[in-house]
Each structure stands twice: as C-alpha cells, then as structure tokens.
C-alpha cells in the first residue's frame, strides 16, 4: 500500500502497544496503518520496530529470535540490526547493501510505545501528546486495550458526541436519558489540532460506574465533562463530580469532589479495523486498588456497548460505501474533526507528490 494513501495521516505519532506487551522478551506482531510490524525490546532496553517480513522470502520476523538488540529470521538465519540493516547471512560473507527491512522511529512514554510510520526525518519526539496525569503519581488507573472491527474515525465520531451517553450507556456510563435532553455543550472550541468540548449536567443522579466507587451513592452531583480530541485520533476526557448546588461551576473548591482523567488512543490497523488503547484514572482513594479495577470493568462494559454499535455501523458501510449521512446539531465537533483531518491528509499527500516530482 502506498504511503500517500488518502485514508491515513502518516506524519504523526500513533500508539503501537502498551509497554507491558513487550515483557519477557516477547515479540509483538501488530498491523499498523496496514503495515505488518514487529515490536520487541532489545537487550539494551531499547524498543525496536521493524517491518514484520524478511526481505529474503517474506517470512515474518515476529517468528524469529531476538539476539541482543537484533533479530534473526528463523527461515534462513539472516540477522537484522535495530536499524533494519541485514548484518549477517549464514554461509555468505558479502552482504549486499540493499538487504534490509524498514525500521520505524519509536518513543516510549506514559507506559505506551508510540510509532511514526511517515517520513522518519519528521519524527520529532516533542510531537508526542503531553498528558501529565498518565505519569502523575496522584492519579491511578489500569491500562486497557480493545480491538474494533471498524474504521477508527467511527470511534472518533462516537467519542465526539457526548449525547450518546444517555442512550448507549444508560445503565453504565451515562446514568439516564435525561443527560441528552437537559445538557448542552457550554463551549465548543475548534482548534488547529482538533477540538475541545465542555458539557455540564447539574443536580443529577450519579452514573452507575461512579456509584460503585463512592460511599454516598444517592446524593445528587454536578457533573462536568471536558473532552479534547486531537488529530489523528487521541481523546482525553477530564471529568468532575461534585456535590450538587455548591458552586463547582463557579470555580468553588467543593469538599467531596471526585475527579477522573481518561486518555484514549485510536490507531488504525486497517481502513476497517482499529487498535484502541485507554486508561481511566482517578484522584481519590488511590491506595485502594479495587477502585481502579472497578473503573476498568465499568469502562470495558461501556466500551463494549459502543463497540456493538460501531461495528454494526461498519457493516452498513461495507455493504453500501456510498451511503450518505445526514448531520444534526450534536455533530458539530465530529464534522469539524473530519474536515480538519481531511485537510491535513491532503496537505501531506501534496507534499509527497511535490517531493517525488523534485526527485
């Protein structure tokens, strides 16, 4: 598949794995943006990402053997360095310079492995999303992973629309259908790298997942969600639950306030499947591991509710790729995101075309 395929944005960082997926010398075979890639941690501690196919006979390197920071194909024994160059051919002294596989820049941060599949010269680690709660000991959570049989933009659409909480997640994350009727965004900001949406739900019953981890399960709360969606598909959600009617919306520090921080990373596997990485963090009773476990179970339950609908949507589009969608008011953030994403993809394709013409 060409690197200028119009469906993907390549010159950006994507999450390839949680770092715990590479423990004990494990080699992880994972398709990312329709490219088969093998990831492993070498003896030096360095994470390596290479094309998962030997340049000789296309045997998967993920079936090979890690030797130091290198990897050996176990079909004919060719060994590749971390930069992808072939450095040994059993029984052959001369190694042609062209023999090798592609190596991908990686950054390890927040217990995540980020990968860059575009122009390696543009792979600036400073462009990795900065989300401090993922590294702050004041916050605790458990990492999660799910696989969707759906295009990642359908997941972006879902996360861009808070109104669906009321209907898809009535008994899990939403709490009641009134959330859709009584709440409206108080702010929608269109930004150069995505959007920000703020939404309040005042004097409401706590949603089921929150009730499970607090003592006062019946007291009304004032609820704020601040969602931030970043290109190419990273979502953060800052949630506050405060005792109702005590002025949290005016900036008052209300005793008994509970906060959550949610980071979600959507990485295209193919144009119709997605890797979904997430962590849901809390800032209270962090010495109690059961809270993080309960929240993870609740989020998994909620995400599976999303997954059922999103994968069903994908089947509709597979059956009729030209089906035209009609927008409603709640679609403003996702409509803007898709426009912005398409604009950035087109700019990237134009740059590739210009570079090819100049070559």
Contact 259, 283 (CB under 8 A): yes
C-alpha–C-alpha distance, residues 315 and 307, integer Å = 12
* pLDDT score of 187: 77
Query: How are beta strands 79-80 and 70-72 bridged, if at all?
Result: antiparallel
User: Measuring CA to CA, which residue among 80, 83, 43, 46 is closest to residue 61?
Assistant: 80
* pLDDT score of 234: 97
* pLDDT score of 162: 65
C-alpha–C-alpha distance, residues 117 and 105, integer Å = 8
Per CATH, the number for 13-127 is 2.102.10.10
The torsion angle over the Cα atoms of residues 284, 288, 290 and 293, rounded to 10 degrees, is 60
Contact 49, 104 (CB under 8 A): yes
User: Measuring CA to CA, which residue among 62, 49, 44 is closest to residue 15?
Assistant: 49
pLDDT less than 70: residues of the chain: 1-5, 162-185, 359
Asked if the 132-344 domain carries CATH number 2.40.30.10, the reply is no
* pLDDT score of 173: 58
* pLDDT score of 199: 87
Segments making up each domain of the chain, as ranges = 13-127, 132-344
Please indicate, yes or no, whether the overall pTM of this predicted structure exceeds 0.85. Answer: yes
C-alpha–C-alpha distance, residues 89 and 86, integer Å = 8
* pLDDT score of 352: 84
């Amino acid at each position: 598949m060409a690197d200028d395929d119009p469906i993907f944005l390549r010159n950006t960082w994507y999450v390839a794995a949680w770092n715990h997926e590479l423990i004990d010398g494990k080699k992880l075979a994972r398709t990312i943006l329709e490219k088969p890639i093998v990831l492993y941690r070498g003896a030096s501690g360095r994470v390596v990402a290479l094309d998962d196919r030997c340049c000789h006979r296309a045997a998967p390197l993920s079936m090979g053997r890690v030797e130091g920071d290198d990897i050996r194909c176990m079909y004919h024994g060719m060994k590749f360095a971390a930069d992808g160059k072939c450095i040994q051919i059993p029984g052959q002294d001369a190694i042609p310079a062209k023999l090798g596989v592609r190596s991908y820049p990686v950054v390890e941060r927040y217990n995540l492995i980020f990968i860059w599949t575009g122009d390696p010269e543009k792979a600036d680690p400073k462009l990795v999303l900065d989300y401090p709660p993922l590294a702050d000991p004041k916050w605790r959570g458990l990492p999660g992973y799910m696989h969707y049989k759906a295009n990642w933009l359908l997941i972006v659409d879902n996360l861009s629309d808070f109104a669906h909480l009321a209907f898809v997640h009535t008994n899990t994350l939403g709490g009641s259908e009134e959330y859709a009727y009584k709440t409206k965004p108080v702010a929608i900001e269109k930004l150069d790298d995505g959007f920000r949406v703020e939404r309040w739900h005042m004097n409401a019953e706590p949603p089921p997942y929150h009730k499970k981890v607090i003592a006062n399960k019946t007291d009304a709360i004032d609820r704020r969600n601040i969602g931030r969606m970043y290109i190419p598909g990273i979502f953060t959600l800052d949630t506050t639950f405060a005792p109702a009617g005590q002025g949290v919306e005016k900036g008052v520090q209300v005793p008994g306030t509970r906060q959550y921080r949610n980071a979600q990373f959507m990485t295209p596997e193919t144009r119709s499947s997605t890797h979904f990485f997430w962590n849901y963090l809390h800032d209270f009773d962090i010495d109690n591991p059961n809270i993080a476990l309960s929240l993870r179970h609740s989020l998994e339950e909620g995400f599976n509710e999303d997954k059922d609908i999103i994968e069903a949507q994908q089947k509709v589009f597979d059956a009729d790729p030209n089906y035209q969608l009609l927008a409603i008011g709640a679609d403003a953030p996702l409509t803007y995101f898709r426009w912005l994403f398409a604009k950035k993809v087109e700019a990237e394709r134009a740059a590739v075309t210009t570079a090819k013409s100049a070559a």
